[in-house]
Amino acid sequence: MKPINVGLLGIGTVGGGTFTVLKRNAEEISRRAGRPITITVVADKNLELARSVTGGSVRLTDDAFSVVADPEVDIVVELIGGYGVAKELVLKAIENGKHVVTANKALLAVHGNEIFGAAQKKGVMVAFEAAVAGGIPIIKALREGLTANRIEWLAGIINGTTNFILSEMRDRGLSFAEVLKEAQALGYAEADPTFDIEGIDAAHKATIMSAIAFGIPMQFDKAYIEGITKLDAIDIVYAEQLGYRIKLLGIARRREQGVELRVHPTLIPAKRLIANVEGAMNAVLVQGDAVGATLYYGKGAGAEPTASAVIADLVDVTRLHTSDPEHRVPHLAFQPDQVRDVPVLPIEEVITSYYLRMRVDDKPGVLADITRILAESGISIEALSQKEAAEGESQTDIIMLTHQTMERSANAAIGRIEALPVVSGKVTKLRMESL
* Long-range pairs of 380-386 with CB within 8 A, sequence gap ≥ 24: 382/353, 383/242, 385/238, 385/241, 385/242
Instruction: Give the integer Cα–Cα distance in Å for 242 and 423.
Output: 22
Taking the C-alpha atoms of residue 177 and residue 179, their distance in angstroms, rounded to an integer, is 6
From first CA to last CA, the distance across the chain in angstroms is 49
For residues 162 and 197, the answer to whether their CB atoms sit within 8 Å is yes
Contact 79, 9 (CB under 8 A): yes
> What whole-number distance in Å separates Cα of residue 43 and Cα of residue 47?
8
- Residue 382: C-alpha distances to residues 235, 366, 374, 414 (Å): 17, 18, 12, 17
Other beta carbons within 10 Å of 404: 14
Pick the closest to residue 270 from 238, 304, 308 (CA basis): 238
Which residue in 140, 205, 247, 299 is the catalytic one? Answer: 205
Provide the CA 203 distance to its chain's centre, in angstroms: 6
The verdict on whether 205 is a catalytic residue reads yes
Query: Do 265 and 226 form a contact (C-beta atoms < 8 A)?
Result: yes
The catalytic residue positions are 205
